[in-house]
Amino acid sequence: MTFAVYGAYGYTGRLVVAELARRRLDMALLGRDADRLARLAFTYDVPPGKVRVATLDDPAVLAAALSDCRVVINCAGPFTVAGTAVVRAAIAACCHYVDIAGEQLYMKQVFDTLASAAERAEVGVILAANDDGLPSDLIAALTARPLGPIDDLVIGLELTRVDGSTPSRGTLRSAFASRDTFLDGGLGYAGGRWDSGIPARRSSMMLPLSGRVVPVVKFPLPGVVTIPRHVRANRVEGVASQALATGLAGVSTELIDSVPEGPPETIRSAGRWGIAVEAVAGSGATARGVVQGHDMQATTAAVAVEAAQRLLVQPLAGFGVLAPAEAFDPKDFLDALATHGVTWSIEQG
């Protein structure tokens, strides 16, 4: 057996399962609810032996459920609350790990506390394999590479949705669990360390969907945690359009309870996402990279499955908790996403 999906019956989990089925990849379905797992298994003709109930509060059972799997894709958030348990179980089972997290503090904790254990187990741990975390890391690597040491690197995120579209309920739960991080703008990176108290340096940026300079605010993007691990940069900052930041900072339990589990495909597919990376070298040379696409949730599923599959079929330069650009060839990975509507480009200053 190869692929396991934890939280398989959630909104994004079902999209990941559908993507694995589309690629005709063998899978096991894991989660806490036996009835929901059984219904999903019936839909995709997954045999009973590959349907496994495992709770986060029983590490031994969770590790045993992964014992014959080579990689697990964790779709069960909020990751700030629940993610570390699945990472630890994967390491105990010597199973590669991929998740769709976006929470900075969870990501930094995994890098800080579990890297050595993952290296000893000879597994790769890839965090934030979603529509913005992994693409922003890869485009930053390609943007910065020709410039040498970077003085300042900024990642900007922009989303557009059509009327009637909302984030999935799971995304809102994760935002609510990290609401303090959203309110203060999250981690920045400066002088070799991550800190939540680093003041914002940018108040405007040209974002790809607007096609013009728009107001932005400091925003807790996952790339801030991963990019400094492979780009030699003095400062890395994440920003987003004001509307996006304000919306996620204002998430409440009432809002979460009022929205559907996720948008229907007809509405979801009309939404767009765009990421810009601007890098300034110590020499003064500049470069700008852009990656963009549509349907955030379906892109996340494609990114997560692509990452999981590459962990198995391509040799890793090393093991441990890895930034995407440390594990994968950035250009080759981004090019592979073209079939899912993802485009990218780089302009030298």
pLDDT digits (tens, 9 = 90+) for 50-93: 999 999 999 999 999 999 999 999 999 899 988 999 999 999 99
What lies within 8 Å, CB to CB, of 8 at 6+ separation is 14, 16, 17, 29, 30, 31, 37, 40, 75
The neighbour count for residue 125, using CB atoms within 10 Å, is 25
Q: What is the pLDDT of residue 245?
A: 67
Does pLDDT of 259 surpass 80?
no
Per-residue pLDDT tens over the stretch 143-169: 999 999 999 999 999 998 755 566 777
Give percent of the chain above pLDDT 70.
93
**Strand bridging mode 233-241 / 188-190:** antiparallel
What lies within 8 Å, CB to CB, of 332 at 6+ separation is none
Per-residue pLDDT tens over the stretch 268-327: 888 899 999 999 999 999 999 999 999 999 999 999 999 999 999 988 889 999 999 999
Which tokens belong to 316? Answer: 């890793």
Q: What are the chain's domains?
A: 3-130+301-327 (3.40.50.720), 133-295+343-348 (3.30.360)
d(CA 201, CA 204) in angstroms, rounded, equals 9
Does an H or E element contain 295, and which? none
Q: What is the pLDDT of residue 214?
A: 92
The neighbour count for residue 49, using CB atoms within 10 Å, is 9
Whether the CB-CB separation of 321 and 115 falls below 8 Å is answered with yes
Whether the CB-CB separation of 295 and 268 falls below 8 Å is answered with yes
Which tokens belong to 263? Answer: 């948008």
Total-model pTM: 0.94
Q: What is the pLDDT of residue 61?
A: 96
CA 271 to each of CA 136, 281, 298: distance values in angstroms, whole numbers, following the listed order: 18, 34, 11
Burial class (CB in 10 A: 0-12, 13-18, 19+), 130: buried
Per-residue pLDDT tens over the stretch 164-184: 566 777 777 776 667 677 677
The neighbour count for residue 347, using CB atoms within 10 Å, is 11
Mean pLDDT calculated for residue range 232-239: 97
d(CA 222, CA 186) in angstroms, rounded, equals 10
Q: What is the pLDDT of residue 349?
A: 66
Closest to 150 measured CA to CA, from 225, 234, 229, 226:
234
